[in-house]
Amino acid sequence: MIAYYGYIKALHLIFMVAWFAGLFYMPRLFIYHIEAGARPQAEGKVLSDQFRIMERRLWYIITWPAAVLCTFFALWLLWINPALLQQGWMHLKLGFIALLFAYHGKTHQMYLRFQGDDIRYTSDFMRIWNEGATLVLFAVVFLAVLKSSLQWLYGLAGLFVLGGLLMLGIRAYKKVRERKG
């Protein structure tokens, strides 16, 4: 089985990329869906209908299958190499993966509301929400590549700095949009 480890790892990474692609794009579709509501009624309805179709296809054809397959291949890797579970960096990584599943679950709840045109969020909120997956991605990739849990405080501080920079970027973009709008 160890002979196939590299192939299994490659499949895990491919489906991780697809999963994150879905998690990055879904909030962006939500933003467009929200902003369609500000359009004239006929135009807004056509756009909302189209966004519901796009959201459904993205969520059920790409995001969910990728999440399941990414998890399947990750569990297979851990089954082949259970020594990974003895390493501190893996514990931290699994903690961030738990956060990712929580993020995915909450995004699924949002998806269901958007499908029913029960929109309870602002586009500004969704722009901030969109960065949640980014923070988890940074944490997981750095842990997997550097395999260092000893310096997790530095990593955590780096995540806060990254989060702050993302918030500043969102605020700057909002100001630019307000000037143009």
How sure is the predictor about 151, in pLDDT bands with cuts at 50, 70 and 90?
low
Q: Is 147 left (phi over 0), alpha (psi -120 to 50) or beta?
A: left
User: Which residues line the annotated binding site?
Assistant: 12, 93
12-60: pLDDT as tens digits: 999 999 999 999 999 999 999 999 999 999 999 999 999 999 999 999 9
For 149-163, the three-class secondary structure string (H helix, E strand, C coil) is CCCHHHHHHHHHHHH
How sure is the predictor about 150, in pLDDT bands with cuts at 50, 70 and 90?
low
**pLDDT for residue 89:** 87
CA 45 to chain centre: 27
pLDDT of 175 > 60? The answer is yes
For the record, the structure tokens of 111 come out as: 């998806």
User: Which residues line the annotated binding site for heme?
Assistant: 12, 93
Q: What is the pTM of this model?
A: 0.84
| DSSP letter string, 18-86 | HHHHHHHHHHHHHHHHHHHTTS-HHHHHHHHHHHHHHHHHIIIIIIHHHHHHHHHHHHHHHHH-GGGGG
d(CA 107, CA 130): 10
**pLDDT for residue 153:** 63
Cβ neighbours of residue 76 under 8 Å, at least 6 residues apart? 8, 12
Helix, coil or strand: residue 1: coil
Cβ neighbours of residue 100 under 8 Å, at least 6 residues apart? 23, 133, 136, 140
Residue that wins the pLDDT comparison between 171 and 85: 85
pLDDT of 161 > 90? The answer is no
36-44 — which CB contacts under 8 Å span 24+ positions? 37/119
d(CA 11, CA 69): 8
72-124: pLDDT as tens digits: 999 999 999 999 999 988 998 999 999 999 999 999 999 999 999 899 999 99
